[in-house]
Structure formats: C-alpha cells, structure tokens
C-alpha cells in the first residue's frame, strides 16, 4: 500500500542570503521569499554530528520537505524564531517514489538581518 508523505513536525519560513553592495563594504542580509514550507524532521546520526563537529559546524536539524529545487546553501530557514543555515539540500525520492528535498541545517556563525521585500501595489 502506498502511503503519502506527511509533513507535520513544523513549518519554516524560507529566506535567501543576498549581498548589499551599495556601501563600501558588502553586507549580507536575508530576503524573504514569502514561502512557508511544512517539514518532517528526520534523525541525525552520531557519526554525522561527530564529522560536522570536527569541521567546526553544529548540525541543528535534518528535515524533509516536498521537493523544492529553489533551496540551496544560500538559504536560511527560520524555525520557531531561530535561524538555521542550509548546509546541504539533496533532492531524493521516498520509498514510495514521492519526490522530496532533504535539508541539513547548521547553526549560522552569526545572525543575519532580515530585509522585507517592498510590497508593490
């Protein structure tokens, strides 16, 4: 029997990392994509945590969402008010053949300011 994937562990807000080059020193900021995406949290194995710790990175979560190819390492997910940097996004199929995107999230080195898109009327 085929089972549809469920994404009931939470909802994230997706942001893209952009660079403001209008000043002498380029500054990174987050641009709101306007997308809220439901996700399912998956296990992070001790070996993966250990390997990331050795590289100075802290894995905060691994999640799966319905497939969306617009997620990459220049994205930040806002979950429960906390920023999580996308380290890796892999496009996979679950055991029933449904396309999903598996995302590894890490703690960002610093918090990046959010710039809202200007609304057009």
State the CATH number of the domain containing residue 62. 2.40.10
CB contact set of 33 (below 8 Å; sequence gap of 6+) = 14, 15, 16, 70
> What's the pTM value of the predicted model, to 2 decimals?
0.85
**Domain for residue 3, yes or no?**
no
The model's confidence at residue 51, banded by pLDDT at 50, 70 and 90, is: confident
For the chain, the domain total comes to 1
For 90-108, the pLDDT digits (tens) are 999 999 999 999 999 999 9
The model's confidence at residue 117, banded by pLDDT at 50, 70 and 90, is: low
For 19-32, the pLDDT digits (tens) are 887 777 888 999 99
**Domain for residue 57, yes or no?**
yes
Quick check: 12 pLDDT over 50? yes
Domain that holds residue 80: 10-114
Quick one: three-class SS letters along 23-83?
CCCCEEEEEEEEEEEEEEEECCCHHHHHHHHHCCCCEEEEEEEECCCCCCCCEEEEECCEE
């Amino acid at each position: 029997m085929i089972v549809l994937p469920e994404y009931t562990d939470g909802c994230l807000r997706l942001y893209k990392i952009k660079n403001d080059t209008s000043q002498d020193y380029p500054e990174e900021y987050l641009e709101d994509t306007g997308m809220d995406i439901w996700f399912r949290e998956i296990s992070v194995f001790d070996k993966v945590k250990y390997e990331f710790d050795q590289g100075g990175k802290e894995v905060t979560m691994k999640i799966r969402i319905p497939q969306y190819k617009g997620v990459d390492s220049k994205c930040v997910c806002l979950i429960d008010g906390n920023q999580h940097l996308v380290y890796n996004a892999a496009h996979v199929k679950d055991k029933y053949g449904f396309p999903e995107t598996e995302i590894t999230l890490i703690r960002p080195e610093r918090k990046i300011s959010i710039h809202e898109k200007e609304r057009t009327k």
